[in-house]
């Protein structure tokens, strides 16, 4: 685990008092969050915890009805275009266009981010090389494996040199080897660019291994925040005080402790579960 960036690092993302409701359901309820520039920040929680809604508010897909969201100082409610230029976004679904080649998929995003024609081919080729897709670049995306599609989506998000990379469940449904490969590429890009990464996941083991800091989200609120090590050792300390001999809690135990129930007992509505399963079946 690398050291988390110092607290003096500039702030990449701030959310304060963010609320979002779908009718009676409070999806995000008074969310406060601060992501430091250059860190890999994990937003963790089960289906239906409000992670995706929070991400959608930050990415300007949803309005910010109450509260404040700032990306590198730009207000997500008022300066949408400025915020979008700073973001690279990979949604939960497999969002590459199957009817286009890998290269064409990335070219589209180069075009909509105003990469000039002179620069386009070189930039697209380099970003495809960065995710190890050079040899497959001219094949249709529908021939790609799940892991390759995820890497292609990473290339699409990176072609505009974003400062904040937002990944919504990037490894959902992937086998362990593909998950490793996706994370290796995320880390390599981070190491090379110093980019800030905000990732949502419900794989606690991944978060433990790859995130500098994590926030545990449950029912629209953040219940714990810190490095995975801090959260685990804090719970271990309490368990020791309660008389347990050698407590070695996992991040999932920490979640169970703060949320009052385990991940597997959480619901998520029909749409969440269907979307998750659809993605899982497409990558599988």
Partner 1 sequence: MSEAPVAPRPGSADAAGLVPDGRPDPLLTPPRARAGWRVLPARVIAMCVVELQKLRHDRTELYTRAVQPALWLLIFGETFTRLKAIPTGGTPYIDYLAPGIIAQSAMFIAIFYGIQIIWERDAGILTKLLVTPTPRAALITGKAFASGVKALIQAVVVIVIAALLGVALTWNPLRLLGVAVAVILGSAFFSCLSMTIAGIVLTRDRLMGIGQAITMPLFFGSNALYPVALMPGWLQAVSTANPLSYQVDALRGLLLGTPHHLALDYGVLVLAAAAGITAASSLLGRLAR
What residues from 12 to 41 belong to the interface with partner 1 (CB under 8 A)?
none
Q: HEC string of the chain?
A: CCCCCCCCCCEEEEEEEEEEEECCEEEEEEEEEEEECCCEEEEECCCCCCHHHHHHHHCCCCCCCEEEEEECCEECCCCHHHHHHHEEEECCCCCCCCCCEHHHHHHHHHHHCCCCHHHHHHHHHHHHHHCCCCCCCCCEHHHCCHHHHHHHHHHHHHCCCCCEEEEECCCCCCCHHHHHHHHHHHHHHHHHHCCEEEEEECCHHHHHHHCCEEEEEECCEEEEEECHHHHHHHHHHHHHHCCCCCCCCCHHHHHHHHHCCCHHHCCCCHHHHHHHHHHHHHHC
Estimate the crossing angle of helix 146-158 against helix 270-283, to 10 degrees: 110
Nearer to partner 1, 244 or 281 (CB): 281
| CA nearest neighbour of 101 among 143, 140, 153, 129 | 140
Q: Using the rule CB under 8 A, is 44 a contact of partner 1?
A: no
Binding to partner 1 (CB under 8 A): which residues in 65-84? 81, 84
Give me the least distance between CB of 252 and partner 1, in Å please: 8
Nearer to partner 1, 39 or 215 (CB): 39
Residue selected from 9, 11, 21, 161 as contacting partner 1 according to rule CB under 8 A: 161
Give me the least distance between CB of 192 and partner 1, in Å please: 4
Q: Is 55 exposed, middle or buried (0-12, 13-18, 19+ CB in 10 A)?
A: buried
Q: Using the rule CB under 8 A, is 167 a contact of partner 1?
A: no
Residue selected from 47, 59, 196, 276 as contacting partner 1 according to rule CB under 8 A: 59
Binding to partner 1 (CB under 8 A): which residues in 188-217? 188-193, 203-206, 208-210
**Token representation of residue 217:** 């989200």
Nearer to partner 1, 31 or 127 (CB): 127
Q: Using the rule CB under 8 A, is 230 a contact of partner 1?
A: no
Binding to partner 1 (CB under 8 A): which residues in 234-273? 252, 263
Nearer to partner 1, 18 or 237 (CB): 18
Nearer to partner 1, 35 or 88 (CB): 88
C-alpha neighbours within 13 Å on the C-beta side of residue 2: 13
Give me the least distance between CB of 201 and partner 1, in Å please: 11
Give the span between the Cα atoms of 131 and 185, in whole angstroms: 6
Give me the least distance between CB of 245 and partner 1, in Å please: 25
From residue 105 to residue 124, what is the string marking binding to partner 1 with x (rule CB under 8 A)? --xxxxxxxxxx--x--xx-
Nearer to partner 1, 17 or 99 (CB): 99
Give me the least distance between CB of 14 and partner 1, in Å please: 19
Give me the least distance between CB of 38 and partner 1, in Å please: 11
Q: Using the rule CB under 8 A, is 179 a contact of partner 1?
A: yes
Stretch that binds partner 1, among 5-13, 53-61, 66-74, 221-229 (CB under 8 A): 53-61
Give me the least distance between CB of 63 and partner 1, in Å please: 8
């Amino acid at each position: 685990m690398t050291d988390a960036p110092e607290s003096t690092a500039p702030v990449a993302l701030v959310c304060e008092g963010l609320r979002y409701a779908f009718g009676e359901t409070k999806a995000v309820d008074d969310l406060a969050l601060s992501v430091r520039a250059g860190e890999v920040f994990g937003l963790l929680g089960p289906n239906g915890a409000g992670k995706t809604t929070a991400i959608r508010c930050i990415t300007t897909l949803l309005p910010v009805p109450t509260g404040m969201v700032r990306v590198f100082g730009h207000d997500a409610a008022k300066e949408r275009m400025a915020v979008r230029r700073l973001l690279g976004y990979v949604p939960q679904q497999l969002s590459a266009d199957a009817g286009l080649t890998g290269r064409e998929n990335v070219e589209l995003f180069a075009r909509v981010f105003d990469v000039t024609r002179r620069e386009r081919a070189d930039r697209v080729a380099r970003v495809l090389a960065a995710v190890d897709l050079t040899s497959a670049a001219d094949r249709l995306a529908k021939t790609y494996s799940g892991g390759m599609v995820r890497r292609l989506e990473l290339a699409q998000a990176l072609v505009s040199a974003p400062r904040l990379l937002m990944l919504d469940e990037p490894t959902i449904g992937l086998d362990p080897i593909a998950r490793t490969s996706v994370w290796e590429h995320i880390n390599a890009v981070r190491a090379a660019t110093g980019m800030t990464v905000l990732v949502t996941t419900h794989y606690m083991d991944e978060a433990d291994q790859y995130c500098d800091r994590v926030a545990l989200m449950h029912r629209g609120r953040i219940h714990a925040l810190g490095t995975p090590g801090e959260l685990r050792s804090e719970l271990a300390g309490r368990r020791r005080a309660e008389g347990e001999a050698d407590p070695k809690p996992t991040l999932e135990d920490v979640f169970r402790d703060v949320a009052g129930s385990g991940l597997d007992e959480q619901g998520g509505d029909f749409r969440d579960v269907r979307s998750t399963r659809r993605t899982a079946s497409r990558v599988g």
